[in-house]
Amino acid sequence: MVLETPARVEQHYAVLEKPSFSPVGVLMRKIPGFGRFIRITSITLIYYHFNLQDVIFHLYLVPNDCTIRKAIDDEEMKFQFVRINKPPPVDSLYIGSRYILSGSKNLEIIPKELKLCYRSPGKSQLFFEIYAGHIGSGIKLQIQDKKHRNLIWEALLKPGDLRPVLPMIPAAHKDAPALPHFLDRHREQLVARVTSVDPLLDKLHGAVLSEEEYEAVRAEATNQDKMRKLFSLSRSWTRACKDRVYRALKDTHPHLITELLEKSSGISVES
């Protein structure tokens, strides 16, 4: 992949007057089996979810494309699956080749093998689903090339990789009195302890904050002043906006939010 320099950039589009694109993509789509001769960089994406006493993992083997990775992240997040960060395969792989997943005993893996393919981000991506009970000291996973039985990737999933999954804010029952929102209950702690405000603002820009509001908050001198300014805007927020801010805080300050949830509920937020 290369970056093309546009001849002209307009407000809503860019102009390439003399683009030079490789025909490889066309050949891969039109000629069956052509991709088997092209090595590409791939990544593994692992997600987990606690289901009663079991743990469910989703393992993807996909081309290293940021748009595909984001589409998978968004899809898994809908079902509250959490990604585990593990190294990708060291060597390049072949599009169209089949790969087999195996692991420690007492694992149920469906399916046993997958074909590495290039699907557009808008389509559902293929993945291994792994059912595990108590993982004990860890689970070892391996992926082999089906044809040559070469080991192309392995990883050890340890209990420490499974960090607490933060619960979603439950919707209030229509007949029940509305409880104060998480942001309202913990405003003082959030103002005092949120230490990285700019990444939080980036997540809220356009969705909760207008350009003018975004710049006004960023202009404050300290993190506490920024949070006070942010909360001064909350009087006009709907509950949906506050939910967005809550989710952004979960992404940028997960340990702080977990601690506040544990203190408010009196229980440990584990599984």
Domain ranges for the chain, please list them.
8-35, 39-161, 182-265
- Amino acid present at 130: I
Rounded Cα distance, 186 and 264, in Å: 9
**What pLDDT sits at residue 267?**
37
The 3-state DSSP class for residue 132 equals strand
| Architecture of the domain delimited by 182-265 | Orthogonal Bundle (1.10)
pLDDT class of 126 with cuts at 50, 70, 90:
very high
Longest dimension (CA), the chain: 64
- Residues with Cβ within 8 Å of 139's Cβ and at least 6 positions away in sequence, in order, are 103, 104, 107, 132, 156, 157
Averaged over 194-209, what is the pLDDT? 91
Question: What would you report as the CA-atom Rg of the chain, rounded to the nearest whole angstrom?
Answer: 23
pTM of the model: 0.53
Assess whether pLDDT exceeds 70 at residue 264.
no
High-pLDDT (> 90) share of the chain, %:
39
Assess whether pLDDT exceeds 90 at residue 255.
no
Correct CATH for 39-161 of 3.40.50.2300, 2.60.40.2660, 2.60.120.560, 3.30.300.30 = 2.60.40.2660
Assess whether pLDDT exceeds 50 at residue 175.
no
H or E segment to which residue 84 belongs: strand 82-84
Q: Contact 147/116 with Cβ under 8 angstroms?
A: no
Q: Contact 46/132 with Cβ under 8 angstroms?
A: no
CA distances to 76, 132, 147, 176, 217 from 106, in Å: 24, 7, 25, 45, 52
